[in-house]
Amino acid sequence: MKTIIIAGTNSGVGKTTITIGLIALLKKRGLKVQPFKAGPDFIDTGYHTMIAGRPSRNLDAWMMSEDYVKESFYKNSSDADFAVIEGVMGLFDGLDGKGLEGSTAQIAKILNIPVILIVDAKAMAGSAGALVYGFENYNKDVNIAGVIFNNVGSENHYRILKEAVEHRCKTEVLGYLPREKNIEMPSRHLGLVTTEDNPHAEKLIDKLTGIMETSIDIDKILDISSIKSKLSIFNIFPKKEEENKKKIILAVAYDKAFNFYYQDNLDILTEYGAELKFFSPLNDKNLPLDIDGIYIGGGYPEIYSKELEANASLRGQIKKLAEDGMFIYAECGGLMYLTEGIIDLDGRMHEMVGIFAATARMLSKRKSLGYVSVEAEDDTILAQRGSKIKGHEFHYSEIDMPDTIKRAYKVTKASNGHEWVEGYCYKNVLASYVHIHFGSNIEWAKNLTTCLPIGRER
């Protein structure tokens, strides 16, 4: 198996564009490709999955242990011919400016995988050599094996860029993407438009791969890619427990409004005995039959607030089950859905489930972004008091939750140590803005799958 990391000098240089084009070209050659995404992003993985035909996974060395990163990588790429990892932000951008923690470079170092550096050359010529030389020599533990230029204006422009790098650097120049707006993926406030909302995705990808076939040296990429063992050597994933004979049936919200889930989280729940039944808060009038609990992840409920409001039947069912004591776990967009309503930027309120006596108000500016650690300050459906887990927040809304609503989390922002209380509880409902990753504490997943369902005995 060969593998490579696609990294950037900074955010917005075209990592996702080149990653999805590379996956498509490798697939075109008949190779089985396993995609990964460094960091906590949900949207890029959707494009990877669509093209590769198999789930893309997140690798995040801040939210996960190094052993977990290795195990997830080897386990999920064991039957692949080529593994492609898309980086996050710039290559060395992480938790702070002093080390590699939380960066693409940390993943490259842990897995000992060569890096292809993407450089936006729109306003650059000979200085490209200095830029690549600096990245190449900044940390010798990170192997920058190749460079691809994006936004190149002409063949002559590319010639100058190539000469500048080859004059001083060891890094291989692998090609370029021309300055072409018709291959840019559309974006919105949380990142790229999701695959579910991008009807032109396949056409864009076809155009992109046609360009990359002639402008990027795929054979050279295959040559510089590492050969890695296919063995799964750490065995830290949970094993199915024989005593858990009664499967818990977990309804998972999944549609255009709710699709921000870490694939590993879903897999771990399954490993611990949960049977996942997916439903659409947008389209389904009824929840799946015989469920024991509900999991509502993040997404874009604010974009589909009218449609969610219109589905009063499903909202009513969820609220009734909450009142009856069913356990419900919700993250970010799921939390917003469980409030009384979402107030859009025009001040209009759209009615939601109404479990929590508060409203989610959309903001024109980002409210929160970054890694957080969570400590349970009380027992919940996920954890016992004192237990800790890691996660990530990214949202453009705020909720003024009444003081009468119980808080079960102490949340600490990793970058500055700022603390606040969250983890809103009502009966057996737990909701938070934090997207947690069970890879940082698998016991939280186990606890969720052993919650006592209504009318069921274990």
Residue 182 is given by DSSP the state: G
Task: Please state which of the ranges 159-173, 203-217, 315-329, 344-358 shows the lowest mean pLDDT.
Answer: 203-217
SS3 for 145?
strand
Question: CA–CA separation, 291 vs 275, rounded Å?
Answer: 9
Q: Is residue 112 left, alpha or beta, with left meaning phi > 0 and alpha meaning psi from -120 to 50?
A: left
Distance between CA atoms of 97 and 94, rounded to whole angstroms? 7
User: For residue 76, is it left (φ>0), alpha (ψ between -120 and 50) or beta?
Assistant: alpha
Contact 328, 430 (CB under 8 A): yes
DSSP string, 436-451: E-GGG-HHHHHHHHT-
**Mean pLDDT value of segment 412-434:** 96
The per-residue pLDDT for range 21-31, each reduced to its tens digit, is 999 999 999 99
For residue 239, pLDDT over 70 is answered with no
Sheet harboring 327-331: ordered strands across? 274-279, 248-253, 293-296, 327-331, 429-432, 419-426, 406-413, 368-376, 388-395, 435-436
Residues 156-181 have a mean pLDDT of 94
Helices (H) and strands (E) in the chain, counts: 13, 26
Using alpha carbons, select from 178, 132, 135 the residue that is nearest to residue 158: 178
Domain boundaries, the chain: 2-227, 248-449
For 228-291, give the DSSP string. Answer: ---------SPPPPTT--S-EEEEEE-SSSEEE--HHHHHHHHHTTEEEEEE-TTT-SSPPTT-
Q: Considering 169, 332, 425, 451, which one is annotated as catalytic?
A: 332
Closest listed residue to residue 446, CA positions, set 294, 252, 248: 248
Classify residue 249 by burial, with Cβ atoms within 10 Å: 0-12, 13-18, 19+: middle
Query: Do 2-227 and 248-449 share a fold?
Result: yes
Question: What residue type is 107 in one-letter code?
Answer: I
CATH class label, 2-227: alpha beta
Q: Given this model, what pLDDT does residue 458 score?
A: 37
Judge whether 451 counts as a catalytic residue. Answer: no
Of 229-243, 283-297, 340-354, 358-372, least confident by mean pLDDT is: 229-243
CA-based nearest residue to 184, from 28, 51, 12: 12
Q: What are the backbone dihedrals phi and psi of residue 442, each rounded to the nearest 5 degrees, phi first?
A: -65, -20
Q: How confident is the model at residue 202 (pLDDT cuts 50, 70, 90)?
A: confident
Q: Which residues pair with 260 in a beta bridge?
A: 298
Is residue 278 pLDDT above 80, yes or no?
yes
**Distance of alpha carbon 222 from its chain centroid, rounded?**
26
Total Cβ atoms within 10 A of residue 416: 9
Residue 235: pLDDT band by 50, 70, 90 thresholds? Answer: low
Q: Is the per-residue pLDDT at 265 higher than 60?
A: yes
Q: Give the model's confidence band at 233: pLDDT under 50 very low, under 70 low, under 90 confident, else very high.
A: low
Segment 294-313 shows an average pLDDT of: 97
SS3 88: strand
User: Residue 456: what pLDDT?
Assistant: 44
What residue has token string 């490209």? Answer: 128
pLDDT score, position 228? 64
Q: Which of 59-68, 159-168, 198-207, 292-301 shows the lowest mean pLDDT across its residues?
A: 198-207
Q: Which two tokens stand for residue 301?
A: 């409920």
For residue 161, pLDDT over 90 is answered with yes
Of 167-181, 232-246, 342-356, minimum mean pLDDT range: 232-246
Mean pLDDT for 398-407 is 96
Does pLDDT of 158 surpass 50? yes
In three-state secondary structure terms, 373 is strand
Whole-angstrom distance, CA of residue 105 vs CA of residue 141: 9
What is the C-alpha separation between 448 and 272, in angstroms, rounded? 9
The confidence score (pLDDT) of residue 203 equals: 80
Token pair in block for residue 19: 């990653």
Share of the chain above pLDDT 70, in %: 90
- Span 99-118, pLDDT tens digits: 899 999 999 999 999 999 99
The answer to whether residue 236 scores a pLDDT higher than 70 is: no
Average pLDDT for residues 78-90, to the nearest whole number? 96
Q: Which of 439, 70, 34 is nearest to 234 (CA)?
A: 70
Report the pLDDT value the prediction gives residue 194, as an integer from 0 to 100.
66
> What does the mean pLDDT of the chain come to?
91
Structure-token pair, residue 51: 């093209």
Distances (CA, A) of 295 to 46, 74, 275, 420, 429: 19, 28, 12, 24, 10
Percent of the chain having pLDDT more than 90? 81
Tell me the mean pLDDT in the region 81-90. Answer: 96
Q: Of 310, 329, 199, 202, which is closest to residue 261 (Cα–Cα)?
A: 329
What mean pLDDT do residues 246-265 have?
93
Position 455 scores a pLDDT of 42
More confident position, 124 or 451:
124
Is the CATH number 1.10.287.610 carried by domain 248-449? no
For 195-208, the DSSP string reads GGG-TTHHHHHHHH
Q: Of 5-14, 227-236, 309-318, give the lowest mean pLDDT range.
A: 227-236
Query: 243 phi and psi, to 5 degrees?
Result: -70, -15
Q: What is the pLDDT of residue 457?
A: 44
Give the C-alpha separation, 6 to 327, whole Å. Answer: 40
